[in-house]
Structure 1
Amino acid sequence: MKTVVIQTFGSPDGMQVVDAPAPDLQAGQVLIETDAIGVGGVDAVIRRGTLGDLGLGEGFIPGSEVAGVVKQVGDGIEPGWLGRRVWAFTGVGGGYVEHAAVDVRDIVALPGGLSSIDAVTLGNSATVAHFALERAHVAAGESVLVRGAAGSIGIAAVELAARTGSVTVTTSSTERGDRLRALGAAHVLDRDGSGDGPEMFDVVIDLIAGQALGTFLDRLSPNGRYVLAGVVGGYPPEDFGMSLMRGFRQSLSLSTFSLDTVPVVERDRVRAEVFDAAVRGDIHAVVDDVLPLERAAEAHRRMDDGGVFGRIVLTP
């Protein structure tokens, strides 16, 4: 089967398309013929080596979410799954393939009216955004800064925060401002935080991290909450915690957030709600482009260039 692997970590040029055997199905797994594969920020972070050597090794298959049709079920799996359209989490990697073997606990049935492309645009992204906002205890009327709002998680965070009645502020390039406002943003700042909008924030949802993290920590209002839910910009400086210490009397808080810490049952419940909301039109899947699987390296180059708005989706 057609498979994309990372032979050399760093540049997208280290990605190659190879012919690999279909995966062996284990007990408790289903085999999915993929219709759509999400290209996530975490894929780029892993491929770049931003987080250092994760021990993944040469020939690693990137991709954490796919959607498609169940073609085979392993031992112990209800045969009723056969032929059903599902979204699936493939783990840290394993998604850039024509056929994916996935644990049945990591699949969610798709409702009619939701395309596979929309499913992989929202499945992880909107779920991360939901729980990040929940962790921040966002309340109506509060100001919420979404740092990195042009990505699929950031876009979902903007929409979901706006639905709570909060005043949503985003950081993105100027030309994307109108699109973000249409999704619920009240203000759009430049990526460095400058521009016409609030100076201080009750909540920051940060998907970037990087060297400027401390600058945004300094803009928390008293009792402000900062949730770090991504590191696409790399690690922050080692002394970034000094921003919290300088604001000690303001009772500021910072937490990291990974979906890995949310029980599977809760994740699946929220994903199902997100998919139903998308069918109703209450949340929107913003797709930047759809490319064939063999152009995965091109998708990663575009992500590295910073010009992607929403999600790029691959199709076998």
Structure 2
Amino acid sequence: MRAVWLHEFGGPGVLVAADAPDPVAEAGQALIEVAFANITFVETQFRASGFGPFKAKLPMIPGNGIGGVVIAVGSQADSGLVGKRVVSSTDGSGGYAERAVVDVGNLFEVPDGLELDRAVALLADGRTASLLIRAAGLHRGERVLIEAAAGGVGTLLVQLAKSVGMRVVAVAGGARKVEMARDLGADVVVDYSKPDWVDQVREAVGSVDVVFDGVGGSIGRSAFELLARHGRMLSFGMASGQWTDISEEAATGRGVTLVDLPRPTPEEMRTLTEGVLTLAAAGHLQPMIGQRFPLDQAAQAHRAIESRASVGKTLLEVRK
């Protein structure tokens, strides 16, 4: 089979497509013919330095989220899974390949009416967005500022926040991203690459009650300053390359709560994932796929994400 190998950490060019042995499903595992592989910002960080939640055992085939069809199962696994459309995490390795093996406990059957590529796009970002919405403790009518609103998580946050009655302020960098956030139904859309973006937000809504911080750095710090007393800030990303640096003392002094994103149990992760897949199948949540690359162009896909020129979700098309 074809796969993308990582032999050393470094720039996107270290991702090299080559042949690999076909994997075999062992006890409690399923073999998936992969159609799409999900790419996240965390994976680009891991490729660059080995930093992240994945085990760094080189050489390896990276990739943590896939979608495809089960073509075989090992012992102690339900043979009825064969032929099912599924999405699954791979625990950090094996995803950038034509075939992958995963523990059957990681499988999620894709509901009827939901395209496989959209299910893959929801696998990581959907449950993250759902977890953020839950952790924020939103109250109907609150003003919610969403950074990186045209990203994989951000586009879903805009939709989910609107669905529960929030007034959404979407901030994104550049005209293309701003237009996407507007099309998703945000009430106020601001380009944070403009020097007066904070003033634009203040003019539109005054202060905000909740900040979903997906950029970090100076953008995150400026968003923090927009919070009203009793506001909440939840940081989930660092598209700028660094987390927002705000001390507990600074937050307390302004009457603001820095909400730590709770680590869900496996049971909660399953509930969150099944929930967003069901919403999408019913047409209530639309994952935005902005870029698609063939498997052999995984390096270009990583470059697109790191350049911050990408919008929505980036997928590898393994099989069409």
- The TM-score normalised by the length of structure 1 is 0.90
RMSD: 2.2
- Give the secondary-structure state (helix, strand or coil) at the position aligned to 1:256: coil
Mapping of residues 217-228 of structure 1, within 5 Å: 217-228=224-235
1:220-261 per-residue CA deviation (whole Å, 9 max, x = no partner) reads 211111111123333337xx234x423424432113336xx2
d(CA) in 1 for partners of 2:32 and 2:243?
38
d(CA) in 1 for partners of 2:53 and 2:234?
25
Matched to 1:202, the amino acid is D
CA contact under 8 A between 1:212 and 1:236: conserved in structure 2?
A: no
d(CA) in 1 for partners of 2:171 and 2:35?
32
Q: Percent of aligned positions with the same letter in both sequences?
A: 29
Pick aligned residue for 1:311 from 307, 310, 313: 313
Matched, 1:254 2:255: no
d(CA) in 2 for partners of 1:291 and 1:21?
23
Partner of 1:102: 102
Structure 1 consecutive aligned stretches of length 4 or more whose deviation exceeds 6 Å = 52-55
Matched to 2:260, the amino acid is T
CA contact under 8 A between 2:86 and 2:108: conserved in structure 1?
A: yes
C-alpha displacement at 1:77, in angstroms? 1.0
Matched to 1:117, the amino acid is D
CA contact under 8 A between 2:55 and 2:92: conserved in structure 1?
A: no
- Give the secondary-structure state (helix, strand or coil) at the position aligned to 1:25: coil
Partner of 1:92: 92
d(CA) in 2 for partners of 1:26 and 1:191?
49
**CA distance 1:295–1:152, shift in 2 (3 Å):** same
Matched to 2:94, the amino acid is G
d(CA) in 1 for partners of 2:183 and 2:279?
17
Mapping of residues 145-294 of structure 1, within 5 Å: 145-175=145-175, 176-191=177-192, 193-194=197-198, 196-197=200-201, 198-210=205-217, 212-236=219-243, 240-242=245-247, 244-257=248-261, 261-294=263-296
Unaligned 5+ segments in structure 2 are none
d(CA) in 2 for partners of 1:47 and 1:149?
25
C-alpha displacement at 1:199, in angstroms? 4.7
d(CA) in 1 for partners of 2:150 and 2:116?
21
d(CA) in 2 for partners of 1:126 and 1:294?
26
C-alpha displacement at 1:183, in angstroms? 1.0
Partner of 1:59: 59
Mapping of residues 21-100 of structure 1, within 5 Å: 21-49=21-49, 51=51, 56-100=56-100
d(CA) in 2 for partners of 1:52 and 1:266?
22
C-alpha displacement at 1:35, in angstroms? 0.9
d(CA) in 1 for partners of 2:309 and 2:172?
11
- The TM-score normalised by the length of structure 2 is 0.89
Unaligned 5+ segments in structure 1 are none
Deviates more, 1:53-62 or 1:180-189: 53-62
Deviates more, 1:77-86 or 1:175-184: 175-184
C-alpha displacement at 1:289, in angstroms? 2.5
